[in-house]
Chain A
C-alpha cells in the first residue's frame, strides 16, 4: 500500500506542477505583482498534493470495489430467485432500481454545493423558491436519473436516445420557466454530483454491465454520470415552474 501511495503521489505531482506554473506565470509576467503569503501557498499546495494522492488510493481500495460489489450482488441469480440469467426481464432487477434511487437521492441531498446554490436561488427569487424545495427537486432529479440510467444498462438500449429526450425536455422547459432561474438550473446539473459520488456511479454502471448477460462494460457501462447531471436540470426547472404557478394562483 505504501508503494501505491508513493506512485500515486509522484504522478499527482506531475499533474499539479503545470497549474502552479500557470498561476506563477500570470502573477509574475502579466500582473507583475509579488505573491502574498508565499508560506501559505507552499504549505497549501503540499496539502493538495498529499490529499489528492490519499483520495485516489482510497477510491481504488474502497469506492470502486464497493460499487462493483453492489452491482454484482444485486444481479446474482440466487438473490433474484431465478435459476439463471438467460431469460431475465428488466423488472426482475427491482432492487437495482431501489438502490439507484436511494444512492442518487441521499448523495445529492448531502451535497454541500447544492445547499449553497439553493440558498442563492432563494435569495434571487425573493422567496418564491424555497431552498429546501429546490434541493429536494434537484435530488429527485438525480435519483430518477440514476434509476433510468440503470434501466438503460439493464435493457442495453442506446444512450443517445435518452439524452435526446432529456435535452428536448430541458429546451421545452427553458421556454416555460422564469428567466432568472435558468442559468442556475443549468449549473445545478454540475453541482449535484460530488467527487465521491461520480466514481461510485461509474463503478455501479460498469459492475451492472459486466454481470448482466449480453451487456458489455465498454458499450453499456458508462452513462450513469450523464443521467445524474442532466436530470436535476429538469427537476429544478419543474420546481421553479410549480412555484411560479402556485404564486400566481395565490395572488
Chain B
C-alpha cells in the first residue's frame, strides 16, 4: 500500500522539482529585486497547479503505457536483424514521439502568434494554426530522418563527430539562404524536440541496437542519436521557411 502510494506521488514530486527552481528565481526577483506585486495571482497559481498535475499524469501515463511498449518494440526490432523494418521503425519512432512533444506544441503555437504579428503569415486563426502545425510536422519529419540516419550510423559505424560537423556546415550554409524571420525559431527547434518523450525512447533504441551488434560499445554508439535529433530540425525548419516565403 505504501509502495503504490509512493509510485503515485513520485511523478508529482518530480514535476514540483522541475518547477521549483523557476518559481524560486522568479519570486526572488519579483519580491527583492523588482519589488513589485504579482498581477493575476489566481491565474498563475492555478496554471502552476495544472502544470504540476499535468506533467505528473503525463509521465505516469508514459511509464505505464508508451515506454514499456516502445522499448519492447525497439529491442525487438534491434534484435530482429531486418534492416528495412528497423529503419522504418526508427523513422516512425522519431516522427511519432516528436509530434506529441509538449514543449514543441507550446513553442509552435507561440511562434505562429509572433509570425502573425510580425506579418510573416496572415493574421488570422486559420493561417496561424496552419503555420504551427506546419512547423510541428516539419520538425517531426526531421527528427524521424535524424533517428533513421543515427541508426544507420550505428550499423555502419560512422564516427559521430564527422557526421555532426557535416551537419554544422550544412546548417551554416542554409542560414545564408533562409529568410531572416525563420532563423531564430529554426535554431530553437533543435532544442525543443529533445525532451520528455523522445529522449528515453530513442536512447532505448540506440543502446539496444548497439548492444545487439557485435563489436559495438553501447556507451559509445548508443548515445549520439539525440545529437542528430537536435541538428536536423534546424536544417529542415529553415527549408520550411524558404518554402513558406516563396508561396
Decide: B58 and A55 in contact? CB cutoff 8 A.
Answer: yes
A203 contact set on B, CB distance < 8 A: 110
Decide: A51 and B59 in contact? CB cutoff 8 A.
Answer: yes
Decide: B105 and A54 in contact? CB cutoff 8 A.
Answer: no
A16 contact set on B, CB distance < 8 A: 100
Q: Given that A124-B219, A196-B19, A217-B118 are known contacts, is A167 also in contact with B226, CB under 8 Å in the complex?
A: no
CB distance from B155 to the nearest CB of A (A): 16
Asked if A137 is an interface residue, CB under 8 A from chain B, the answer is no
In chain A, residues 170-217, which have Cβ atoms closer than 8 Å to a Cβ of chain B? Answer: 170-171, 174, 179-180, 182-184, 186-187, 189-191, 193-200, 202-203, 206, 216-217
Asked if A90 is an interface residue, CB under 8 A from chain B, the answer is no
A60 contact set on B, CB distance < 8 A: 47, 106
> What is the total number of residues of chain B having a CB less than 8 Å from a CB of chain A?
103
Decide: A107 and B21 in contact? CB cutoff 8 A.
Answer: yes
Which chain A residue has the least Cβ–Cβ distance from B223? A183
Decide: A195 and B102 in contact? CB cutoff 8 A.
Answer: yes
Q: SS class of chain A's interface: helix, strand, loop or mixed?
A: helix
Q: How far is the CA of A226 from the CA of B70 in the complex (A)?
A: 28
Q: Given that A70-B29, A160-B183, A225-B191 are known contacts, is A191 also in contact with B199, CB under 8 Å in the complex?
A: yes
Which chain B residue has the least Cβ–Cβ distance from A107? B21
A198 contact set on B, CB distance < 8 A: 103, 106-107, 191-192, 195
In chain A, residues 125-165, which have Cβ atoms closer than 8 Å to a Cβ of chain B? Answer: 159-160, 163-164
A73 contact set on B, CB distance < 8 A: 30, 34, 36
Asked if A99 is an interface residue, CB under 8 A from chain B, the answer is yes
Asked if A218 is an interface residue, CB under 8 A from chain B, the answer is yes
Decide: A79 and B34 in contact? CB cutoff 8 A.
Answer: yes
B61 contact set on A, CB distance < 8 A: 43-51
- Lowest 7 A-B CB distances belong to which pairs? A44-B65, A62-B47, A222-B184, A47-B61, A61-B47, A54-B54, A51-B58
